[in-house]
Chain A
Amino acid sequence: MLPESIEKNMSNETLITGKKAENAIKESLFLFTLYICVTIAILTLMTLIYDVLSTGITRLTSDYEVGLITKIQIDNPVDFLTTLDSRYPDRAGIGPAFAGTVWLMIIVVFVTFPFGTGAAIYLQEFAPKNRLTRFIELNLTNLAGVPSVIYGLLGLAVFVRLAGFGRSVLSGGLTLTLLILPVVIVASREALKAVPDTIRQGALALGATKFQAVFRQVVPSAIPGMVTGMVLGLSRAIGETAPLIFMGALTYVNYFPDTPLSGFTAIPIQVYNWIGYPQAEWRETASAGIILLLGLLLIMNSLAIFIRNRYEKDL
């Protein structure tokens, strides 16, 4: 045989080592582990949703088969959303709590958006890069991680007592604003940071002032990201219970809050309250409340995703 052909054979053999099969097993094992992790997460969520839906649906659908003992009063979403709380689980609606949550969200949006975006724009675009700025940035990140009850305590001291707003929906809204402000500022700064520097330079090179460059080019480009951050902040605020209870939100409210200084309750507080009653029927009412809360969260998160997808490709 010629030496070349021998060499050739050898080199071919080195290609067939069986290594590939070995690697494939390792890979599939790894993938399998990942699938398990994902499945556990999804199954947990599904179980939760199934449990809540199957329990709470009684209060939201009229043709549900029930026992013969009592006629169910609340059996559709509209009634559930508009009826006052009651001593009887089948007559208890979430009206005041829903209204309270809407009030809270409106206050949170109107206060957080200007303050949050304002702070973010200042810190990201105008603040001198010095020790003080770094100190503020560090504190913002830490504030975003502070347990929410602490904000309740702060709200109680500042808004309820010091400012004299009482245990009102205004105090509640401002407390929640404090809670999500760091999150919104951080998200808005990220959105501003994502605007390429070439946009700033392009504007300045045309003779724009810093102010014009920031407010006419950079901020408009960052608005989708800022709004997304805002919506995600809101969806955190909507589920918060602890700070509101701490600052003194009421647990039983039998009226619709009509001014910012009205006493109020919110959906998660109401649900927490209902769950605490011993009678089994309250579980159904509470579940209906949870369904409402989940629905609101789903809508808000979808909105955030929609805004992101709709506008982000423009950059």
Chain B
Amino acid sequence: METKETVQVNNESVFNVSDLSVSYGDFVAIKNVNMDITKNKITAFIGPSGCGKSTLIRTFNRMNDLILGAKVNGTITYQGVDLYDKMVDPVQVRRRIGMVFQKPNPFPKTIKENITFGLKVNNMTDNMDDRVEKALTQAALWDEVKDDLDKNALELSGGQQQRLCIARTIAVEPDTILMDEPCSALDPVATKKIEDLMQELVKEFSILIVTHNMQQASRSSDYCAFFTTKTSDDGKRRTGELVEFNETSVMFTTPDKELTEQYISGRFG
């Protein structure tokens, strides 16, 4: 991509999160998050179920707007722009920051139409065939599907479907890709393929990934954030909190916090 040459400082941050908390009605899902996400790196969010990882990742492209009663406090800036500023159009945000979901969710249409839909809604209708081929190639799917682009996407295997979802996400040329447990519905072979793919994609995109899989986080991420839930004093409410955020290699060898160490080694969570 053109922007690649302009990136000189390797540690440039793409997201700056400060004092972020997200609540649904009275329920606070996650609070007091402060972190800087580095550009063109893979940042993994790990932690037990219900700690607000998925909630957090959905604030990065304003997918939380779609949930009734969701409220975001604090600021989250994307390349210096406050994502929750009144003047910011969530549709444009989502176009720049793509998302891959937990369960593969191809549209019930042909493989080609799955890619072209995103192109059409973003007015990228020039050289559509080239764009389709490029996206599928980048997603390491082209060789498997090039002869049946008109096949219904639901006929693909789960792993192929997920790679198709990645392909349609990168087809619209975002800067960042959010992945919400992209491999949780896949077998180990398909998971391996997605992980290899992430290593390729990170050269061009910044990647944030939520995962339950500790090995996946340690294998494929550059940075790692560990979240946990804290139960309120009356024991009724559970709120997610960021415990530790560090380079993956550091976190998995010499974590700062006792809790992190316990979680990583499987003694809790």
**Which residues on A are within 8 Å of B, measured CB to CB?**
129, 196, 198-209, 212, 216-217, 221, 314-315
Contacts and interface: CB of A to CB of B under 8 A. Distances in A.
Nearest to A206: B118
Contacts of A209: 91, 121
B154 to A, nearest CB: 7
A204 B117 contact: no
Interface in B139-195: 152, 154, 165, 168-169, 172
A217 B107 contact: yes
Nearest to A313: B154
Chain B interface size band reads 20 to 34
A256 B223 CA distance: 79
Nearest to A314: B108
B235 to A, nearest CB: 31
Most central of A129, A201, A315 by chain B CB within 10 Å? A201
A205 B108 contact: no
23 contacts: A199-B108, A201-B99, A201-B105, A202-B101, A202-B165, A203-B107, A204-B91, A205-B61, A205-B169, A206-B95, A206-B121, A206-B169, A207-B94, A207-B95, A207-B96, A207-B122, A208-B118, A209-B121, A212-B121, A216-B121, A217-B107, A217-B117, A314-B154
Nearest to A196: B105
B68 interface: yes
Contacts of A314: 108, 152, 154
A206 B108 contact: no
Given A198-B105, A201-B105, A207 B118 contact: yes
Nearest to B94: A207
A255 to B, nearest CB: 49
Please name the 9 residue pairs, one residue from A and one from B, whose CB atoms are nearest each other, closest first: A207-B95, A198-B105, A206-B118, A205-B99, A208-B121, A202-B105, A212-B121, A314-B108, A207-B94
Nearest to B105: A198
A315 B109 CA distance: 9
Contacts of A129: 68
Contact of B66 (A196, A201, A207, A217): A201
Contacts of A205: 61, 63, 94, 98-99, 101, 169
A222 to B, nearest CB: 11
A111 to B, nearest CB: 29
Contacts, number: 70
Interface of B: 61, 63, 66, 68, 91-92, 94-96, 98-99, 101, 103, 105-108, 117-118, 120-122, 152, 154, 165, 168-169, 172
Nearest to B124: A207
A203 B68 contact: no
A201 B63 contact: yes
Given A196-B105, A202-B105, A207 B172 contact: yes
A216 to B, nearest CB: 7
Contacts of B61: 205
A202 B99 CA distance: 8
A199 B117 contact: no
A314 B153 CA distance: 10
B107 A202 contact: yes
Contacts of A196: 105
B91 A207 contact: yes
Contacts of B91: 204, 207-209
B108 A221 contact: yes
Contacts of B106: 202
A198 B101 contact: yes
A219 to B, nearest CB: 12
B101 A206 contact: no
A207 B165 contact: no
Contacts of A199: 105, 107-108
Contacts of B172: 206-207
Nearest to B174: A207
Nearest to B154: A314
A204 B101 contact: no
A236 to B, nearest CB: 29
Most central of A129, A199, A208 by chain B CB within 10 Å? A208
A151 to B, nearest CB: 35
A206 B105 contact: no
A204 B94 contact: yes
A206 B117 contact: yes
